[in-house]
Amino acid sequence: MALYSDKVMDHFRNPRNVGVIEDADGVGEVGNAKCGDIMKIYLKIRDDRIDDVKFETFGCGSAIASSSMATELIKGRPVSEALKLTNQAVTEALDGLPAHKLHCSVLAEEAIKAAMKDYYDRHGIAYDEHLFPAAHDCEHCGE
């Protein structure tokens, strides 16, 4: 059996929405280089919808595939829906991830939430703090 599903390999080999949005409305970055994965999400929001989304990822195959899938799942969706994106949804859309790679889908969810929070902060939009629980601490390096 291969390490990854065909879906993961497809999104890894042909990642969707790679790149940068220079005039992004919100940017979120999670993870750290010491642990081997960083995800950065750029959002363009118009009329309460995710008008455009791009990502950059430093990490393993599943980290790249998770970022790619997460951006696909929220692109064009209303902001309220994007906020509900869960790591389970990313994992399911990828036809599953190996158990030791599930944290990649968690990072993807956190990266999108971090970008949304940045959007709200930048635009002075009030939000419910509970929507953005603190990103999980990296047990490994304490960062």
The vertex-82 CA angle with 118 and 19, nearest 5°, equals: 65
Q: Does residue 138 have an active-site annotation?
A: no
Minimum separation from the CB atom of position 47 to other proteins (A): 28
Query: Is residue 60 at the binding interface for other proteins, with CB under 8 A as the rule?
Result: yes
Cβ atoms of residues 7 and 105 within 8 Å:
no
Name residues contacting other proteins, limited to 95-134 (CB under 8 A): 100
Query: Is residue 10 at the binding interface for other proteins, with CB under 8 A as the rule?
Result: no
The residue within the footprint of other proteins, chosen from 5, 7, 18, 92 (CB under 8 A), is 18
Residue (9 or 83) nearer to other proteins, CB? 9
Query: Is residue 36 at the binding interface for other proteins, with CB under 8 A as the rule?
Result: yes
Candidate list 60, 104, 138, 141, residue with the active-site label: 104
Candidate list 35, 60, 138, 141, residue with the active-site label: 35
Which contacts of 99-107 are long-range, i.e. CB under 8 A and separated by 24 or more positions?
101/60, 101/62, 104/37, 104/59, 104/60, 104/62, 104/63, 104/65, 104/66, 105/62, 105/66, 105/70, 106/136, 107/30, 107/31, 107/37, 107/39, 107/59, 107/63, 107/66
Q: Does residue 104 have an active-site annotation?
A: yes
The residue within the footprint of other proteins, chosen from 11, 12, 107, 116 (CB under 8 A), is 12
The residue within the footprint of other proteins, chosen from 51, 56, 72, 92 (CB under 8 A), is 56
Cβ atoms of residues 20 and 56 within 8 Å:
yes
Q: Which residues are catalytic?
A: 35, 104
